[in-house]
Amino acid sequence: MATTRSRSAKSAENGVAKGAETLPYDRDTLIGFSRTMTTIRLFEEAAQKAFRQGKIGGYLHLYIGQEALALGFLHEYRPGDKIITAYRDHAHALILGATPREVMAELYGKGTGLVKGKGGSMHLFDVKNGFWGGYGIVGGHIPLGVGFAYAQAYQKSGAMTQLYFGDGSIHNGAFHEAANLAGLWGREGMNPCLFVLENNKYGMGTSVQRATAMTDLSEKFDSYAIEHEDVDANDLFAVLECAQRVTKKIRETGTPYGIEAQTYRVTAHGAADFLERYRGKEEVAEARKHDPINRYEHRLLEMGVATEADLEAIRAEAKAVADDAVKFAEESPEPDLSELYTDVLAD
């Protein structure tokens, strides 16, 4: 079957004009995007600090530098949709509507946390807002997303699933088994699933080049007859355009679609990791120049949608939100000890 490989980075330049007047978003929405990304950034920086102070335990995987990716696709979230990802999950939860307070409290392992202190950073869940987790085993969650999509089609809900997974996980058997099912079931319109491959170029210390001989990762979707394309995921406008187009198609056809979202992990794999022998400082410095928030802010300034003062105000506001979340988490009580034995089995 023919697969389209429109590079959305390019199509963004052609299709989405530079001037604000041709964008399908009003000023409030555009400012809102900036606010969301900045809030996530400052929230995570605060979490990183708390982790270093020993106030957050376990693992902490940050989404710093990848914010536009989740925001662009989740902008197409509609009630009834289901979102699932791995452990790098703070941004997804926050964008979908979990409050910074309850997410931070979860990272602190407090009873007021999003999952009552039971899961921590890797296992955020917020089902009422369409967020179905938060999983820690690489590849393990991928088949679940395909199952969600089948159920959505079967139940004629008109809803779809967004399934996020990393470049490291695409080499796991779970991806291949699940993608094959999605392609197969999609032929009958039974798999409205958006596969979002978050290619941040590394799985821990292993670059894409060192993990596979076929480094054009999205071509792996071809094996399962899943249409796909790439997008420059550090360009919010490119992601928004792509997301709008492909989610419309998925909803209409019930077939899966693959996205290779190009980004870069500027932070260490986890907040506890300090050795970075596997890549050069120059490489990271270069990648930081393409920071999605900076790029987006530049566009806003260019288009005359926002002034420096507006952006400063957004940062101040985001800082206050992050500070408030930390304060809330610090002051919250630990989970009650009786919680140890709840939620093991359903009645």
Ligand X SMILES: Cc1ncc(C[n+]2csc(CCOP(=O)(O)OP(=O)(O)O)c2C)c(N)n1
Burial grade of 163 (CB within 10 A; 0-12, 13-18, 19 or more): buried
Contacts 24+ apart (CB under 8 A), 178-181: 178/142, 178/143, 178/145, 178/146, 179/142, 179/146, 179/220, 179/221, 179/223, 179/224, 179/226, 179/256, 179/258, 180/223, 180/224, 181/143, 181/146
Question: Rounded CA gap, 185 and 172, in Å?
Answer: 21
Nearer to ligand X, 211 or 301 (CB): 211
1, 2, 5, 3: which is closest to 231 by C-alpha?
Answer: 5
Binding-site ranges for ligand X (CB under 6 A):
88, 136-138, 166-169, 198, 200, 202-204, 265, 269
CB 136 to other proteins: min, Å: 4
Partner whose binding site includes residue 339, from other proteins, ligand X, Mg ion, none (CB under 5 to 8 Å by kind): other proteins
Chain residues binding other proteins by CB under 8 A are 57-59, 109-111, 113, 117-120, 122-123, 135-140, 168-169, 171-174, 203-206, 210-212, 275, 277-278, 334-335, 337, 339-341, 344
Q: According to the binding rule CB under 5 A, does residue 166 interact with Mg ion? A: yes
Does 167 contact Mg ion by CB under 5 A?
Answer: yes
- Determine the interface stretch with Mg ion among 11-19, 37-45, 152-160, 200-208 (rule: CB under 5 A): 200-208
Q: Which of 36, 121, 161, 200 binds Mg ion (CB under 5 A)?
A: 200
Which of 43/264 has CB closer to ligand X? 264
Helix (H) / strand (E) containing 41: helix 27-52
Give the pairing of strands 131-134 and 82-85. parallel
Nearer of residues 220 and 269 to ligand X, judged by Cβ: 269
Q: How far is the CB of 14 from other proteins (least distance, A)?
A: 36
129 or 206: whose CB is closer to ligand X? Answer: 206
C-alpha dist (Å) from residue 137 to 85, 242, 300, 345? 11, 29, 38, 21
* Options 14-22, 46-54, 192-200, 217-225: segment touching Mg ion (CB under 5 A): 192-200
Nearest distance in Å: CB 114, ligand X: 20
Sheet strands (E) in 87-147: 131-134
Least distance (Å) between residue 18 CB and Mg ion? 31
Task: Give the nearer residue to ligand X in terms of CB position, either 61 or 228.
Answer: 61
Q: Which is nearer to ligand X, 113 or 203 (CB)?
A: 203
Q: Which partner, ligand X, other proteins, Mg ion, none, binds residue 141 by CB below 5 to 8 Å per kind?
A: none
DSSP string, 242-275: HHHHHHHHHHHH---EEEEEE----S-SSTT---
| CB contact at 8 A, 90 and 121 | yes
Residue ranges that bind Mg ion, judged by CB under 5 A: 166-168, 200, 203
